Amino acid sequence: MRKLLLLRPEPGLSQSAARAKQLGLEVIACPLFRVDPVGWDVPDPADYDALLLTSANAARLAGEGLESLKSLPVHAVGEATASAARLAGLRVVNTGWAGAAELLATLPSSARLLHLAGEHRIPPEPGHRIDRRVVYRSATVEEPGLPPLEGLVAAVHSPRAGARLAELADGKGGAAVAAISPAAAAACRDGWERVESAVRPDDESLLAVAAMLCHTSPR
């Protein structure tokens, strides 16, 4: 069986590793980024109808600023984000399973949304009244110690991770790639043994694809 290379930063790295090991996979951890909180100005919750969370890290790292926003309901992308929001004491009323665009399509365009996000998060499509606050940033690990990729299965959790992996591999990948979304798959560029996307943009679906690849022989 092939080994699984996990590239995401903590705390998601440990969570993915635990899920992968439950699936019987052997894990190599090599985070390409480090996630740090960012100071931010907390707006008046009366100016908004709800919070929009597209990443679990937003709920984990927003800090004390969340306290004054707990009166707002939360629209979350993915169960991991919803779970992190609940752990932070927020009230989740809607969970989207296919990305921010799918979630926003269920909401009235007049809804006033406060989006708590990462510095490199791709903003949702225009069409809604969204005010964005950066509450964390993902810093690049300059020398991550990437192992030889030949024969491995690499799990790519974001387009930015895919682009960074492609940069480090420099066209000499040799691994199979499990990507969390078509956008993350496209960011990996060419040169891989094969690239497969998850059916839903969440860790469980990604690891299901990764497990399938780990049980195949290198081409």
Average pLDDT score, the chain: 89
Strand ranges inside the chain, DSSP E? 4-6, 27-29, 33-37, 50-53, 73-77, 91-96, 112-118, 129-140, 153-156, 176-179, 194-197
Residue spans in the chain of domains classed CATH 3.40.50.10090: 6-32+145-214, 35-139
Q: Which CATH architecture has domain 6-32+145-214?
A: 3-Layer(aba) Sandwich (3.40)
Q: Which residues pair with 74 in a beta bridge?
A: 51, 92
What is the phi/psi pair of residue 71, to 5°? -75, -15
Return per-residue pLDDT of the chain as tens, 219 residues.
999 999 998 878 998 999 999 999 999 999 999 988 989 999 999 999 999 988 888 998 998 889 999 999 998 887 888 888 999 999 988 787 767 778 887 888 888 999 998 887 655 556 678 889 999 988 899 899 999 999 999 999 989 899 999 999 987 778 999 999 898 999 999 889 999 999 988 888 999 999 999 999 877
Quick one: tokens of 50?
């709800």
Amino acid at the residue 125: E
User: How long is the chain?
Assistant: 219
Amino acid at the residue 129: R
Task: Label residue 81 exposed, middle or buried (CB < 10 Å: 0-12, 13-18, 19+).
Answer: buried
pLDDT at 122: 59
Amino acid at the residue 42: V
What is the tens place of the pLDDT at every residue in 130-165? Answer: 889 999 988 899 899 999 999 999 999 989 899 999
According to CATH, the topology of domain 35-139 is: Rossmann fold (3.40.50)
